[in-house]
Structure 1
Amino acid sequence: MAIDRSAAPESNRERIIAAAVHLLAEGGREAVSTRAVSSAAGVQAPTIYRLFGDKQGLLDAVAAHGFATHLGTKARLEPSDDPVEDLRVGWTLNLEFGLAHPALYTLMYAEPRPGAMPPAAVAALEILGEHIHRIAEAGRLRVDEARAAQLVHAVGGGVTLALIATPEDRRDLSVSRLAREAVIGAITTDAPGPTPPGPAGAALALRALLPATDVLTPGERGLLIELLDRIARAG
């Protein structure tokens, strides 16, 4: 199906990505051939190679487009007074996006490219990190921020991919809710409380308050974060 170009003119790059996204949604990764994309976008095949290098470069651009779309939804969320509840909302948005765009989500999360994370993917992880940091600021984080973010990212993405792979008539969405609550229970406390005794508790508390000070250089801040995370993980 060709892309409608009767609206405002788009760049070749935008038309090609739009065509690839459409083909991916309709027929999966196998449908995104150079010939099919060039036909749908109304360009010659050499244009694709010139702009994206090869098919993998085009797929990387499609994945980056997916991250940017997903990021736009998350960025519009207004934080509430309960950072843990905001984390639940973000988890649900991730699941809904994956089920609404299964082929795109699979391309984004099931085929990572080591050392080549798209800028939009980095921004999405930064938003997750901000959610986790707000929980730490509220005194409700059990583990260090990096570990909490990694756990949420890994389990949330894995559960969504598993549900995508499950036929709709056998799909149990409560699995995502149960996984979400298990992760939240593992990384947060029920309510703010006093700082846990010992070095680990002090490290977590100081780590959460670092953004409030500007007396450190970037290098000093990075070193202190590394040391505090190491102390927190040692327990």
Structure 2
Amino acid sequence: MPKNSARDRLLLAGAQLLEQTEVGDVSTRAICELAGVQAPTLYHHFGSKQRLLDEVVSHGFRDFLATHAAEDASLDPLQAIRDGWDIHVRFGVEHPTFYAYIYARVSTGARCGVVSEVEEMLLKALEPAARQGLLTVTPTVAAAEILAASTGVIMTLITTPETERDPLLSGRVRDAIRAAVTVQHPREDGGRSVTPASAAVALLSVLDDADAVLSDTERALLRDWLGRLLIPKEEVNP
């Protein structure tokens, strides 16, 4: 019998019970009974029931992402951002109990559930766009804004009766957020007009590759200068 068989059974039990519950929570006793183990085994592998369920949700999203993520590595960067949003929203709508569990336990300063996996997916989609000069903010800022907006859309959709949901809500908010973080003025050749902000983001995304040319001090100074180009004028001169 594999050493991790008890851990696997606990994860499967947690996933099954979490999907079945309507309140987004299950008891330690129920998980252990379904997995055929005692409570100390759960604590040995996960430390707490909450960590077990966090892993269930994160593992569920990773599986969902592996199934639904685009396989075309040459996908247009802006389309990749759109797809990243759609995958996140689809996961939340198709697994509402997972989301109920995640956000029923929000506490100050504590990241929860699937957030890290979603951010990693978004950053992976945003970095090529940054290198091509298509972003007006850094990938980290863009990912935070996209995550905040898409999470709000998911919560709105899953708390609205299916018959009353606006089927266009997610697309409208997605396109508004994408427009806010990307260059929006196409050139005649089909490309995008370079702005000071998008040029700064593009250079920042490859700055660490210049370590053979620039010293640590020079790169830090250049990073500071480029960062200033991303600060809105009204914040610089209120």
TM-score normalised by length of structure 2: 0.77
1:61 to 43, 55, 59: 55
- RMSD of the alignment, in Å? 3.3
CA displacement at 1:72 relative to structure 2: 2.9
Structure 1 residue ranges, 4+ long, deviating more than 4 angstroms after superposition: 112-121, 216-227
Provide the C-alpha distance between the structure 1 equivalents of 2:142 and 2:218, rounded to a whole number of angstroms: 23
Provide the C-alpha distance between the structure 2 equivalents of 1:75 and 1:172, rounded to a whole number of angstroms: 24
Partner of 1:232: helix, strand, or coil?
coil
1:151 and 2:145 matched: yes
1:1-235 matched pairs, under 5 angstroms: 11-29=5-23, 32-73=26-67, 77-108=71-102, 111-112=105-106, 117=111, 121-190=115-184, 191=186, 192-197=191-196, 200=197, 202-210=199-207, 212-215=209-212, 225=223, 228-235=226-233
CA displacement at 1:75 relative to structure 2: 5.7
CA displacement at 1:103 relative to structure 2: 1.0
Q: Please say if residues 204 and 223 of structure 2, whose CA atoms lie closer than 8 Å, have aligned partners that are also in contact.
A: yes
CA displacement at 1:23 relative to structure 2: 0.6
Q: Please say if residues 42 and 48 of structure 2, whose CA atoms lie closer than 8 Å, have aligned partners that are also in contact.
A: yes
Q: Which one is further off, 173-182 or 41-50?
A: 41-50
CA displacement at 1:110 relative to structure 2: 5.7
Matching residue's letter, 1:46:
P
Aligned residues: 227
Provide the C-alpha distance between the structure 2 equivalents of 1:96 and 1:152, rounded to a whole number of angstroms: 14
Q: Please say if residues 102 and 113 of structure 2, whose CA atoms lie closer than 8 Å, have aligned partners that are also in contact.
A: no
Q: Which one is further off, 69-78 or 127-136?
A: 69-78
Q: Please say if residues 80 and 86 of structure 1, whose CA atoms lie closer than 8 Å, have aligned partners that are also in contact.
A: no
CA displacement at 1:210 relative to structure 2: 2.6
CA displacement at 1:60 relative to structure 2: 2.5
Identity within the alignment, %: 38
Provide the C-alpha distance between the structure 2 equivalents of 1:218 and 1:120, rounded to a whole number of angstroms: 35
Alignment correspondent of 1:4: none
Q: Please say if residues 139 and 205 of structure 1, whose CA atoms lie closer than 8 Å, have aligned partners that are also in contact.
A: yes
Q: Please say if residues 71 and 124 of structure 1, whose CA atoms lie closer than 8 Å, have aligned partners that are also in contact.
A: no
Q: Please say if residues 183 and 193 of structure 2, whose CA atoms lie closer than 8 Å, have aligned partners that are also in contact.
A: no
Kindly provide the CA deviation profile for residues 147-201 of structure 1, in whole angstroms up to 9, marking residues without a partner as x: 211111110121012111111111222100110011111111233444325xx45
TM-score normalised by length of structure 1: 0.78
Matching residue's letter, 1:126:
E
Q: Which runs of 5+ in 1 are unaligned?
A: 1-7
Provide the C-alpha distance between the structure 2 equivalents of 1:110 and 1:230, rounded to a whole number of angstroms: 38
Provide the C-alpha distance between the structure 1 equivalents of 2:122 and 2:137, rounded to a whole number of angstroms: 15
Kindly provide the CA deviation profile for residues 89-115 of structure 1, in whole angstroms up to 9, marking residues without a partner as x: 121111211121111133345645666
Kindly provide the CA deviation profile for residues 109-134 of structure 1, in whole angstroms up to 9, marking residues without a partner as x: 56456666579753542331122222
